């Protein structure tokens, strides 16, 4: 019996959602390798990109279950906390009620 899973790569130029059948005991890295994404996107460096299953971070050696959706997340190019601080810096302070 094979595992039916999907692999999603939210590449800004061409997002992909691929469906795969894998052998029982397959892992996140097995799914990514079998998907062909590493060949299609040579700059896809799994040391920089995070991976997950259904929105939860997952290591490359995590075993998969039938129906899992393996996700590859783009690296964050800016720290959201720093962006928020910069945005708040330009806002006027709220006046206190009299």
Tens digits of residue pLDDT in 41-75 = 998 999 999 999 999 999 999 999 999 999 999 88
Do residues 64 and 3 touch, judged by C-beta distance below 8 A? yes
pTM of the predicted model, to two decimals?
0.76
Query: How much is the pLDDT for 90?
Result: 63
Query: How much is the pLDDT for 84?
Result: 65
Residue 97 resides in a domain: no
Q: For the domain that residue 76 is a member of, what is the CATH number?
A: 3.10.20.30
- Total of domains in the chain: 1
Residue 95 resides in a domain: no
Tens digits of residue pLDDT in 84-96 = 666 666 666 666 5
Tens digits of residue pLDDT in 14-40 = 889 999 999 999 999 999 999 999 999
Domain limits for position 76: 3-89
């Amino acid at each position: 019996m094979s595992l039916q899973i999907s692999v999603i790569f939210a590449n800004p130029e061409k997002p992909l959602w691929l469906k795969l059948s894998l052998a029982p005991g397959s892992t996140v890295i097995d799914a990514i390798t079998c998907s062909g994404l590493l060949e299609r996107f040579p700059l896809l460096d799994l040391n920089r990109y995070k991976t997950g299953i259904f929105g939860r971070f997952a290591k490359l050696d995590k075993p998969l279950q039938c129906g899992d959706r393996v996700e590859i997340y783009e690296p964050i190019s800016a720290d959201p906390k720093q962006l928020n601080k910069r945005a708040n810096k330009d806002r006027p302070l709220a006046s206190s009620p009299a």
